[in-house]
Each structure stands twice: as C-alpha cells, then as structure tokens.
Amino acid sequence: MEVQRRELLGLTSSDLCQLLESLGEKPFHGKQIYYSIYKLRQFQIGEMTELSRALRGKLQQCSRLTLPQPSLSQLSVDGTRKYLFELADGKRIESVFIPEEQRNTLCISTQVGCPMDCKFCLTALIGLARNLTAGEIAGQVLSILKDQQEPLPEIAAKAKRSQNRRGSAKPVNIVLMGMGEPLLNLENVSRALVLMADPGGIGIPPHRITLSTVGLAPKILDLAKAPVVPNLAISLSATTDDVRDQLMPVNRKYPIHDLIQACEQFPLRPRQRLTFEYVLIDSINDLDQDARRLVRLLSRLRAKVNLLPLNPGQGNGMRPSSPERVRRFQEILASKGLAAYIRRPRGADIFAACGQLHHAQQPLQMVH
C-alpha cells in the first residue's frame, strides 16, 4: 500500500517547523525549507542543498512538493497569457497573466469551477468540482512567476522596457478573480493570502492583492478578521434586487441592502477604497436610472466603480452595452463624484477576460 506523503506546498514556516519536529529533526530546518520554496523557488526536494543529503532523502520518503504545472498556455494579441494548470488529481483550472505598463497582474482561481451561477459568466457553466488547497492557490502565483522568469521573447522585451530607474522589475498585483468564489473557500484562501503576503516568502503586500466576491455578506465580515486582509472588490452589476436576483442568484440569499451593510463594516486602510465591479448589459442594467441608483447605493462608502461591458457571446443571449451607453453611464457616476473607470477587456481573443474562464474541462488550443 502506498504511504500517504505530506504535501509541503501550502504549509507556512511554522507548519514546516512542526512537521520537521514531528520527524525527529531540528525544527529550524522547516524555515530553511520554507525559504527554499518561496524565496529561492526550488520546487524539488532534491534541489534543497541547504539540507543534508540524509534529510532530503527522509523528506522525499514522507513528503512531496507539487507545484501546479501549466500543461498549456495561450497568448493573446495584447500580451495577456492564459495558463491551464492540471492538478495532482487531474482537475483543471485556469489563471491569467496580464502585463501592464506599470505592473503585472496575475488573476488566479480559488475553486475548480464555481457554484454561484452568475448569468454573465462562463465559469458558471462548469459548476463546482472542488475547492483548491492553499498550496494550489499560492502555487499558481509561484508557477506563473517561474514561467515569467524564463520569459518568452515578447514578454522579456516588454519587461525590459518597463523596468524602473533602479532596474528592478515591475511590481506584481494579484487578483482572486479567476474561477470560483473565494469566500466559499475562505479557510484555504486565507492561508494562501498569508503565504502570498509574507515578506519572508512570496512577498506581495496585501495592498497589491484584491479578492473579488459576488457578495456573500457574512463572509465579507469573516474576511475582515483574516490575518491578511486584501483589497475587496464586489461584483454588483445591478441596482435593484429584481434585476440582481436574475443576474446573480446569490442575491436571493443576500440582497443588495445586506451586501451594502456588510461593505460598510469592512475596515479600510487610509486612502483605500472598495471596488464595485459592474458588468454593463444592454437595456438590462445600463439605464440612466441605474447609474443614479448606483450613486445612491454607494453614497456612504469609500468606493470606486469598474465598468466592464459584457464580453460578446458571454451571457445567455444578453448583449454588451454600446460604447456610448458605457460612456454615458460613467459620466453620470462621475458627475455625482463617484469615481468610475471603464475597463477594457484583456485577452478576450483567448477567452481570458473576466467571466470567460471556462475551457478548463476541455484541452486548450495552442495559439503560440
């Protein structure tokens, strides 16, 4: 019978120290292993030459280190790269690398599929298979950063052009906006946030990490008590319960009033704002009165709004708002002092834009 080996990816420094102690070893080796994985990016136990040969051998017997490996990736004309990861149990998830002028953004998944059934999202068609572990969530970041260190020529050239004066690479932002509802997997997401934000590890500060939720009101308050509290984005996309009930079934359980109340209690750092994402759908949620209602709904919050025209082919026959309607919607918000940004979709040609991650159950077609 095969012995169950302990997965090291996803363990914190203190977890690893405890594990080493339980193996009859000096606990400080746990810190060395942590440093090797998260700082030196050594993803094979055999590579960890800080450890004695005997200890490496012992660890190989009783543990494993499984970095999610991209089995395929697709490159968009705009430089966005979508990764398909095959996990240890054969399940598949997708993540997206988005190079930008001032930063690189990694959009990562928190579940295999998603049970929330938002009507404008293709991931919803898959349903939920399972939650990702903390190691699988943080592992997407490690794996993409590893891939980008040996960049393809076009990304290397872009990175070189955008290096700052001190010659360091662009900062990395993480958005938990890929497949899944992060707050349904809060325990593992919370552990992954600790791993991602640890300055002694991956080292991405919390203000560069954003968690996006459909608005599970009680869980928003739980997130506020997590050891690492990221920026919060809420996918709102409607200003009345009638419309939101249709677009986002979660609203039947946590209507707009409850959601806004939870947002009011979410602690913000100085100058930090909540982000409200609003997918604009022709004649459904893009009317002038919607814009005015949105201003009223958010009036007591420190908030900004991201306006995202629905991606074509993404929603049960629904159509994206016209560019004129999107601009008019933005103008109404701005005229009332509510900051609103029109987000251009990234990677839409490879189905990597918001709400388009759904191919994970079928093989991707390589375009590069």
**Token code pair at residue 346:** 């990234």
Q: Which of 141, 179, 183, 291 binds ligand SF4 (CB under 6 A)?
A: 179
Q: Does 183 bind ligand SF4 (CB under 6 A)?
A: no
**For ligand SF4, which stretch binds (CB under 6 A), given 55-63, 114-122, 261-269, 304-312?**
114-122
Told to judge if 101 belongs to the known catalytic residues of this protein, a careful annotator would answer: no
Q: Which is nearer to ligand SF4, 279 or 295 (CB)?
A: 279
| Candidate residues 93, 116, 236, 281; the one interacting with ligand SF4 per rule CB under 6 A | 116
Region of 2-10, 46-54, 110-118, 251-259 interacting with ligand SF4 (CB under 6 A) = 110-118
209's CB contacts (< 8 A; 6+ apart) are: 173, 174, 175, 176, 193, 196, 197, 228, 230, 231
2 is a catalytic site residue = no
Q: Least Å distance between CB 44 and ligand SF4?
A: 33
Instruction: Give the interface segment with ligand SF4, choosing from 43-51, 138-146, 156-164, 179-187 (CB under 6 A).
Output: 179-187
Among the listed residues 355, 356, 359, 364, the single contact to ligand SF4 using CB under 6 A: 355
Residue among 25, 94, 181, 277 flagged as catalytic: 94
The number of beta carbons lying within 10 Å of the beta carbon of residue 127 is 11
Residue with tokens 């009345």: 240
CA 325/CA 323 separation, integer angstroms: 5
114 sits near ligand SF4 (criterion: CB under 6 A): yes
Distance CA 300, CA 327 (A): 24
228 within 8 A of 207, measured Cβ to Cβ: no
Which of 48, 112, 121, 281: binder of ligand SF4 (CB under 6 A)?
A: 121
Smaller CB separation from ligand SF4, 17 or 352: 352
Q: Which is nearer to ligand SF4, 63 or 111 (CB)?
A: 111
251 binds ligand SF4 (CB under 6 A): no
- Listed ranges 40-48, 117-125, 289-297, 335-343: which one lies at the site for ligand SF4 (CB under 6 A): 117-125
Interacting residues with ligand SF4 between 210 and 229 (CB under 6 A): 214
Is residue 155 involved in binding ligand SF4 (CB under 6 A)?
A: no
Q: Is 236 an interacting residue with respect to ligand SF4 (CB under 6 A)?
A: no
Of the two residues 173 and 212, which places its CB atom closer to ligand SF4 in the complex?
Answer: 212
CA–CA distance, 114 with 120 (Å, rounded to integer): 13
356 binds ligand SF4 (CB under 6 A): no
232 is an interface residue for ligand SF4 by CB under 6 A:
no
What is the binding site for ligand SF4 (CB under 6 A)? 114, 116-118, 121, 123-124, 179-181, 214, 235, 355
Active-site residues, by number, are: 94, 354
